[in-house]
């Protein structure tokens, strides 16, 4: 969960928001053959966390997730998928928030709504890395990409949330063909394979991979891409929506 977003969140009562319920969004990007995750760091402390937020009392849950994702990426039409609800008492630890609030000159009274126990709905977002503008909260955090293989220490259970998000992404990759959301509009077969290998965490055979992808009939072949390399130029492809 992530605190201090819109005007009302700093209200000690949390007026206008559903209490005890948060959203955490794992925003995945793909760059330099690496999976990246968008994280925020609270100012004046070193706490690193997932982008998160709360649900307005009259807001659709999915809209709240979109709002959170849009605030941190600057993007519209983000691919978002629910994957798990985190509701163990063991995840409850208000200490980081208390410190953040105090470090930023905010009275952290014991009954402040943000210091209560929260259950959090986990979403993952798949975005085109090149289109994202990591956007910090105006008041309380910085925001940026981190390598999935070199994550810093995260508050509460946010490391576990990322881990479960990655598992969900892996599970749904073949059935739901959602990987394309991580690539730019046009891409080569090599880039697509690198993406799959990175997500699945294993090497794939080039020949079989290409045959499979082309056999799915979801790729439109475009012009060749002359990279300047001393070899045959690969074709560009575009994902064919149904």
Taking the complex as a whole, the smallest distance from the CB of residue 179 to DNA amounts, in Å, to 16
Q: What does 185 bind: a second copy, DNA, none (CB cut-off 5 to 8 Å by kind)?
A: none
SS3 of residue 90 by DSSP: helix
Closest among 107, 84, 89, 86 to 97, alpha carbons compared: 107
Reduce the secondary structure of 177-234 to three states and give it as a string: CCHHHHCCCEEEHHHHHHHHHHHHCCCCCHHHHHHHHHHCCCEEEEEECCCCCCCCCC
Q: Is 105 in the site for DNA (CB under 7 A)?
A: no
Q: Is 202 in the site for DNA (CB under 7 A)?
A: no
Judged by beta carbon, residue 117 or residue 211, the one nearer DNA is: 211
Quote the tokens at residue 55.
């649900």
Judged by beta carbon, residue 150 or residue 232, the one nearer DNA is: 232
Q: How open is the CA angle 79-83-88, to the nearest 5 degrees? A: 140
Judged by beta carbon, residue 116 or residue 130, the one nearer a second copy is: 116
Residues near a second copy (CB under 8 A) are 18-21, 55, 57-62, 64, 82, 84-90, 117, 119, 121, 171, 175
Q: What does 57 bind: a second copy, DNA, none (CB cut-off 5 to 8 Å by kind)?
A: a second copy
Taking the complex as a whole, the smallest distance from the CB of residue 203 to DNA amounts, in Å, to 9
Q: Is 230 in the site for DNA (CB under 7 A)?
A: yes
Taking the complex as a whole, the smallest distance from the CB of residue 35 to a second copy amounts, in Å, to 22
Judged by beta carbon, residue 154 or residue 194, the one nearer DNA is: 194
| Binding residues with DNA: total (CB under 7 A) | 23
Cα-based distances in Å from 4 to 38, 114, 218, 242: 18, 9, 42, 40
The pairing of beta strand 52-56 with beta strand 141-147: unpaired
Q: Is 217 in the site for DNA (CB under 7 A)?
A: no
Cα-based distances in Å from 35 to 106, 154, 197, 198: 36, 17, 10, 7
Binding residues for DNA, rule: CB under 7 A, are 188-190, 205-208, 210-212, 214-215, 224, 226-235
């Amino acid at each position: 969960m992530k605190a201090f977003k819109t005007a009302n969140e700093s209200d000690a009562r949390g007026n206008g928001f559903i209490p005890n319920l948060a959203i955490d969004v794992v925003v995945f990007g793909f760059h330099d053959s690496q999976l990246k995750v968008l994280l925020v760091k609270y100012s004046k402390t070193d706490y690193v966390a997932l982008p998160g937020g709360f649900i307005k009392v009259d807001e659709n849950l999915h809209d709240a997730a979109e709002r959170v994702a849009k605030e941190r990426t600057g993007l519209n039409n983000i691919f978002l998928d629910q994957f798990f609800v985190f509701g163990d008492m063991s995840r409850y630890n208000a200490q980081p928030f208390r410190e953040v609030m105090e470090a930023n000159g905010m009275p952290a009274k014991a009954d402040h709504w943000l210091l209560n126990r929260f259950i959090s709905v986990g979403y993952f977002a798949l975005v085109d890395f090149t289109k994202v503008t990591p956007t910090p909260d105006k008041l309380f955090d910085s925001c940026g990409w981190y390598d999935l293989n070199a994550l810093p220490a995260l508050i509460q259970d946010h490391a576990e949330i990322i881990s479960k998000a990655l598992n969900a992404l892996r599970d749904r990759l073949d059935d739901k063909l959602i990987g394309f959301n991580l690539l730019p509009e046009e891409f080569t077969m090599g880039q697509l394979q690198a993406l799959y290998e990175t997500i699945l965490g294993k090497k794939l055979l080039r020949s079989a991979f290409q045959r499979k992808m082309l056999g799915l009939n979801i790729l439109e072949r475009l012009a060749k891409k002359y990279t300047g390399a001393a070899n045959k130029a690969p074709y560009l492809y575009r994902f064919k929506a149904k």
